[in-house]
Amino acid sequence: MDTDRRQFLQAAAAALAASPWLAQAAEPAAPAAEPHDMSAFPAHWHGQEQIAMLLYPGFTALDFVGPQYMLASLMGAKVQHVAATLDPVTSDTGLTFVPTLAMKDCPAELDLLFVPGGGQGTLDAMRDDALVAFLADRGRRAKWVTSVCTGSLLLGAAGLLKGYRATSHWIARDLLAEAGATPVDARVVRDRNRITGAGVSAGIDLGLTIVELLRDRLYAQSMQLLAEYAPEPPFNAGTPRTAPKEAVELMSGMFTGFVAGSRETLRRRHGGG
């Protein structure tokens, strides 16, 4: 058990012991029980990484939450949810998140930078000069630069994928070429210190990949077990290769404006238009 948790439990026990409600009890209060026994965990499982996970209006919540579950499991790591300000940020489906750190206060030297994707919100973010400049600055210093879904387009807009192999949501994957990257059709792609995930649900796979890199395989396997991540989808329609033609056409048609806008934005940022 880490020192902070032990101190918290000791303080909580002391507070409970002093409670006037407990003073009325016939029996003295029992000491607070430790919620988890982590005494058998090896010492190298405890790190001290500085991790920044970006929030911006209209991002896709599951892009963020899946990786956040895994990254927050890294014992000793400091995970910050970073946005332009500390005001709540609303996702594309209406879930609202509270940032823990403003971009201006984000450490310059990060162990890991993570960017989620989305639809119109991501396109708006690609056109936001301050946000793109923030990513470019922190990304060029970070030990690991990561994304899920169309978050890789934001990395591309910031010039962080030029010369790298990368992936994205299937709708947007080929657009990575506009940022000087080599698009790859894969669930998770690692090229040196860049790790990108495909669409939405691939964030859990990306998170587990990172956990293994920063700790070890047993740690990652233990987190997969804790999350009971053993997907058995009711349909085999998770990629354009396996989905019905009608579904592919419907989804492709929904995003023609997004694709066109993203292409134009990437070309403008990289001098191609």
Residue 91: name the closest of 56, 126, 47 by CA: 56
* 151: nearest Cα among 84, 238, 56, 252: 56
Provide the angle, in degrees to the nearest 10, between the axes of the packed helices 61-71 and 202-214. 20
Token pair belonging to 155: 């990395």
Q: For strands 78-83 and 101-102, give the pairing.
A: parallel
Tell me 75's DSSP state: T
Q: Which of 84, 125, 131, 149 is catalytic?
A: 149
64, 159, 193, 240 from 87: Cα distances, Å:
17, 27, 31, 37
106 labelled catalytic? no
Structural contact between residues 9 and 32, judged by C-beta atoms closer than 8 angstroms = yes
Other residues' Cβ atoms within 10 Å of the Cβ of residue 155: 29
Residues 6+ apart with CB under 8 A from 116: 53, 54, 55, 59, 60, 63, 64, 67, 147, 148, 149, 151, 203
End-to-end, the C-alpha distance of the chain in Å comes to 55
Element (H, E) at 78: strand 78-83
Give catalytic residues, as residue numbers. Answer: 149
